[in-house]
Chains A and B, each alone.
Chain A
Amino acid sequence: MSKKLASWDSIIILLTVVVLIVASFAVDNFGTGRNFTFLTLDTLPIILVALPMTMIIVTGEIDLSVASTLGLTSSAMGWMWNHGMSIQTIIPLCIVLGAVAGALNGFLVTGLGLPSLAVTIGTLALYRGLAFVVLGDSAVADFPYNYSSWVTGTFGGGSIPHVLLPIAVLALIFGIVQHATPVGRSLYAIGANAQAAHFSGIRVGRTKFWLYVVSGAVCGLVGVLWTLRYSSARADNGSGLELAVVAAVLLGGVSIFGGKGSLPGVLAGVVLLAALQNALRLEDVSGQALNIVTGALLVLSVLLPNLVTAIRGTWQRRKLRQAAAR
């Protein structure tokens, strides 16, 4: 029990709650409904992409192509809209396109056995490049108003944004799959030791492949939401988002070596980063200087537990030595 309390994900959840409480008292306008709406909209892409990313990193792999997949679907959405397709066909097609992009990642990683870090750096460039090929540096902005206003709108004009619905639904689904199903447990087994997982009957390759497909599909969905939110389909939409997502996931206590981490921790990590950024922006601190906090938190999230383990180790050794001397 004490071990569980001291784990990084509980620390990060606690820290998030503290930051939220302090910020809503100390920072003007932080606790307002309007700010909550904007905070949710700003967090939307990172939180949704972080859901499949958590699973992928838990299995010991990584997907750096997520932001480029988002950009590619955004571009494709603009292209299809320009070519007179209806928005009802475009949206599912975009999600399928994302899934296809993810399937290519999955094939290269599991089919050919290539390292996922290198593969997804490659497809990061490839998908972003294709996004530019599709749309060039132009933007498409005339999406139907009722769709884009739904994304930016709130329930009954209050302060709960519509996009909280997809966030809540997807977070619930991913949370249940990861923490309450055999599939979820197998992810941890794969991350802890892929070979042992294979010998105990887990289809390692197939599981990883489908994770990449799901990740791509979610990125496709986020591409659609992003495009509608800003009412602008551009090839450079979401560029650089991959590092923010990975940072949030690691900050949430997921081990980059796989096998460790929980979704509540990751959600807290995302909210913590977003709330800090938001609060400091309201206090007129430049968002870019906040990079220092993001980076430091990221390093500390791994460094502190390591230090604690090291100190505990020395302490235990000393106790053993004393016992032996006695």
Chain B
Amino acid sequence: MTPIAFQKPARSLMKTRELGIVLALVLLIVYTTANNHRFLSGQSIRDNLLNTAILAVMAAGEAVVVITRNIDLSVGSVLGISAWASATMVSSHQGLPMIVPIVVGLLVGALCGLLNGILVRYGKVPALVVTLGTLYIYRGITYSWAGGKQVNADKLPQHFLDFANASVLGVPWLVLIAVVVVGGISVLMRNYRSGRELYAMGSSPQAAELAGIRVARNLLGAFILSGALAGLAGVLFAARFGTVDAAAGTGYELNVVAAVVVGGVAVFGGSGTVWGAGLGALLLTVIGSALAVLDINQFWQQAIVGFLIILAICADRLVAVRIARSLRKRDAHV
């Protein structure tokens, strides 16, 4: 009896959390379109979705890590190393089908993620320290590998570059991949055992361990997933922009964390959704293009993003306080 009674308000509160992002998104789009109807044209929607895709793929992996009460700051560097690896590979083997660089990117990323996970779990080093360290290490490896060189679009095979713009039934591959990744992981986190275990680990690491959850396996899985998706994002980055050097993706980690936090994933773990993080990525991208359309100084973009992050954390805090209060009230009745 009580579990259901408790679930209801908690659930509806959770729902309002993502609803807030959707609402903000709708308001922004309506307002911008009212000012310039071309904002909702096919081309503009396409551009927005393409620009969101890479960020959303990374945000999905980051969200999983953050839900376990960890953080992965190395994603930007993993993107860089994977982008460089895949770009040099296809430029020297022009005939490779697209699936090969994608698999290589995923593997490179997964390997980077595995190292992060091992250091966090078995080295007992906090995730912030590990991934700050590997942020430097992976970037350094890319720099020593690439030197000052650059892979340009004319060195890349046409089918590799086409991949970013080609579409199936009008939906670009990039967007399709992002939707599948965000959707798939959302379902995994919501309905499957390992997903629920990851939430449990984030809510209380000690309790999760005592409850017999295979914490080590799950934690490694979360870091490998985040790394692999950052690796995938690297391949997509190379295909979309066509120019790759050792600095590709520098500073992306902050955008990714921003998307995750704006999307309603609490940094203390245990709450938030992957599709919320995807929405966060979409919102951040749309803000950027809306500013351009509304003819507002582009320089405002970053300030607005910062303001949004703080707003999102305040909202999380409010929800948490309300849940705690309703729980206390329930306990008082019993």
Contacts and interface: CB of A to CB of B under 8 A. Distances in A.
Contact of B246 (A123, A129, A288, A302): A288
A306 interface: yes
B130 interface: yes
A115 B267 contact: yes
Contacts of B261: 118, 121-122
Contact of A132 (B303, B310, B313): B303
Interface of A: 108, 112-115, 117-119, 121-130, 132-133, 136-137, 235, 239-240, 243, 246-247, 250, 256-257, 286, 288-296, 298-299, 302-303, 306-307
Interface in B295-331: 297, 299-310, 313-314, 317
B139 interface: yes
14 contacts: A108-B313, A114-B313, A114-B314, A118-B267, A118-B309, A122-B307, A122-B310, A125-B303, A127-B306, A129-B305, A256-B128, A295-B136, A296-B137, A299-B123
B254 A121 contact: yes
Contacts of B302: 125-126, 128-129, 132
B306 A247 contact: no
B305 to A, nearest CB: 5
A295 B133 contact: yes
Given A114-B317, A128-B302, A129-B304, A299 B258 contact: no
B140 interface: yes
Given A112-B314, A119-B310, A123-B310, A289 B144 contact: yes
B203 to A, nearest CB: 15
Interface string B135-147: 1111111011001
Interface of B: 71, 119, 123-126, 128-130, 132-141, 143-144, 147, 246, 251, 254, 257-258, 261, 267-268, 297, 299-310, 313-314, 317
A272 to B, nearest CB: 14
Nearest to B317: A114
Contacts of A288: 139-140, 143-144, 246
Contact of A122 (B128, B139, B306, B317): B306
A34 to B, nearest CB: 27
A303 B119 contact: yes
Contacts of A108: 310, 313
Given A126-B307, A132-B299, A296-B133, A115 B123 contact: no
B309 A302 contact: no
A126 B306 contact: yes
- Best-surrounded residue of B130, B254, B314 (most CB of chain A within 10 A): B254
A239 B309 CA distance: 19
A115 B124 CA distance: 22
Contacts of B139: 288, 291
A126 B136 contact: no
A136 B305 CA distance: 17
Contact of A291 (B143, B297, B308, B313): B143
A122 B143 CA distance: 29
Q: Which 3 A-B pairs have the closest CB atoms?
A: A126-B306, A129-B303, A295-B136
B306 A125 contact: yes
B136 A292 contact: yes
A114 B309 CA distance: 12
A302 B301 contact: no
B307 A286 contact: no
A192 to B, nearest CB: 16
Nearest to A300: B133
A209 B251 CA distance: 28
Nearest to A62: B128
Given A295-B135, A298-B133, A125 B254 contact: yes
B137 A129 contact: no
Contact of B313 (A122, A125, A250): A122
B130 A299 contact: yes
- Best-surrounded residue of B136, B138, B251, B299 (most CB of chain A within 10 A): B136
Contact of A303 (B123, B135, B310): B123
A276 to B, nearest CB: 13
B129 A119 contact: no
Contacts of A289: 140, 143-144
Contacts of A240: 251
Contacts of B268: 115
- Best-surrounded residue of B123, B133, B147, B309 (most CB of chain A within 10 A): B133
A125 B258 contact: yes
B178 to A, nearest CB: 23
Nearest to B268: A115
Nearest to A250: B129
A134 to B, nearest CB: 9
Given A121-B254, A122-B313, A125-B258, A298 B136 contact: yes
